[in-house]
Amino acid sequence: GEPSAQDLREVLALYLQHTEKYRQHAPGYAAAGGLYLLLGEPGQAATYSRKAIAIEPDYLAYRSLAIAASRLSAFDLAIKSAISASELNPVFRRDIDLMMSVAYAYISIDDVANAKASLGALLRARPEIRGHEQFDRLVAFVYQRAEALERTVD
């Protein structure tokens, strides 16, 4: 099954010890960032992901930073980080959490076209996502926001 929060915290403690000992080892910071994300701590996830990127940019660090930034309402950073992640990993469109976070970031800055494009790319890469509760809610939100923006223009 899924690891418990306690399990994640135990693994996180090991990575934090690792980063204290090996301060220039980017994967340790990236792993800590990902674990903080899983633990629902986007601020810490962003901090450790940025440390990893400063040492050696990699997909997982940018991915964690993009998702964390979206959760922190730092939408421009979320989009920039997702773009950087996509440049490092061409199959990023299969990453459900990343693509949904980026779509949310786009719609939050009223960029309807890119929000729809992100969701469409995810649906093409992962057709099984149709019917997934979070995906369906996000699609509905994007289309409701698009309609509201159109009414504002009229």
* pLDDT digit string, tens, across residues 5-36: 999 999 999 999 999 999 999 999 999 999 99
Q: What is the pLDDT of residue 91?
A: 85
DSSP one-letter string for the chain: -PPPHHHHHHHHHHHHHHHHH-TT-HHHHHHHHHHHHHTT-HHHHHHHHHHHHHHS--HHHHHHHHHHHHHTT-HHHHHHHHHHHHHH-TTGGG-HHHHHHHHHHHHHTT-HHHHHHHHHHHHHH-GGGTT-HHHHHHHHHHHHHHHHHHHHH-
Q: What is the pLDDT of residues 92-123, one digit of tens each?
A: 889 999 999 999 999 999 999 999 999 999 99
pLDDT at 45: 98
Q: What is the pLDDT of residue 154?
A: 67
pLDDT tens digit sequence for 119-139: 999 999 999 999 999 999 999
Residues 28-65 pLDDT 10s: 999 999 999 999 999 999 999 999 999 999 999 999 99
Q: What is the pLDDT of residues 71-100, one digit of tens each?
A: 999 999 999 999 999 999 988 889 999 999
